[in-house]
Structure 1
Amino acid sequence: MQNQPRAAFRPCAVIPVYNHEHAIGAVVAAVLARDLPCILVDDASSTSCAAVLDALAAADPDRVTLLRHAVNRGKGGAVLTGIQYAATAGYTHALQIDADGQHCTDDIPRFLQQAAAKPKSLIAGCPQYDDSVPSVRLYARYLTHVWVWINTLSLDIKDSMCGFRVYPLPSLVRLVQRTKLGERMNFDIEVLVRLYWDGVAIVNLPTRVAYPTDGISHFRAGLDNLLISRLHATLFFGMLWRAPRLLGRRLLAPRGVR
């Protein structure tokens, strides 16, 4: 029996944008330099940022698509808008990258190579920070890592908060169709855990991450920490009834894959 041909690999980039007019131009240029179509989602930015996004889309209309929210929905809401558009447009994979310049765009080819080689897996960035990151951020991230390890009953997800990743769109679309995901800073964590629950393999790739190049962070310590704490509790109870299946998966995994 002849091997079936591999389905076409057609990736794009999805970039949620909220008032990052000073950094987004360089991010888009780096994405386009990798011959990757770019979907920008303006999450109700200021008029100055909107003007920058209009100019980017007008300068390369064949490769840059600009979508807009009338009201701010949050990072997750913007990513979901871009994902839904990408799936409808026929893309098979979506590379999510932040608009603030903190992610290493030189690593885009590595992420895409892994996604092409393992098209059903989720390629997740595992941050390697420089000295620009506040230490309190690192401690808070570690606490989330512990909860994610508990809620997946595994150490397979090395970092659930990095917004630099490649989604296999069929798996993500199926998840979105049946589950309402958080649309704020809780999105990155929740979508990774729930896709893992669905059996999507996680490939962790180390990548350099710096503090936002434009000095702007939209993480709201009070509200976003509350949303993330509530998410961990919700996922914990969701893990309990999935525990037999999650443990069974680990027991049946080939040696060296656990």
Structure 2
Amino acid sequence: MLLKVTDLEISYGSKVTVTDANIELEKGEILSIVGESGSGKTTVIRAIMGCLPGNGSVSGGDIIFTGKSLLANTQEQWRQMCGTEVSMIFQDSGNMINPIRRIGEQFIAYILTHAPQTSRQDAYQLAIKMLDDVRLPNPDNVMRSYPFELSGGMRQRVGIAMAMTFSPKLLLADEPTSALDVTTQAQIIRQIVDVRNEYNAAVIIVTHNLGVASYMANKIIVMQNGRIVESGLREEVIGNPQHEYTRELLAAVPVVGGKRYYA
């Protein structure tokens, strides 16, 4: 078992926002966590990443990754793990990139932070390879570009490339398509599936769209008001939903030609 989350409870001060969350994930699997805004989806993956904002904390349960409890990590152990063993793609990677520094400067700095023994030339070549792997045309030009010179989809691909640089075992994606147009959304979703296929990484993707989840996930978790109300294999959740909230989410998926398609 790569990741096992048991009875997870997350609090902000005295307020409990997520309770009784349980997740099991094997290497190479894709899990989608779906639900409306405020249901606790992002809070769960931020807890796994060790980056809960403000006074957020894990107040109950455990997070076991590769057989070890992440809750026992020191700050230095979190720093070493994030970006190498566990990486995250944010909702809009463009907002995570410094707008006044070229992509190449930031990518090289990212590599050297995690692998300080690497030469700048080797870091540059590794960045070029990663940009090429996510099918960005003319990677040299991308490295010379400022973020505002790239489209939203290109910036998101830069984020994916950086996240996968050190072949992490687990990739967390926080609504990575919500800021993109429909065509680019489909491209990014396919890109994440390709990343899983190439690196055999486990993926957890947070989305409010069950259509996206049904396309790419092996397993689906449905969250509502900080609780998991349904979970299971994709075929079970999509084909035979047990909870009324899951049925409501499925009913919101657009219908094409009078028939509803989920996969």
TM-score, reference length from structure 2 = 0.29
Q: Report the structure, 1 or 2, having the larger helix content.
A: 1
Report the structure, 1 or 2, having the larger strand content.
2
TM normalised by structure 1 equals: 0.29
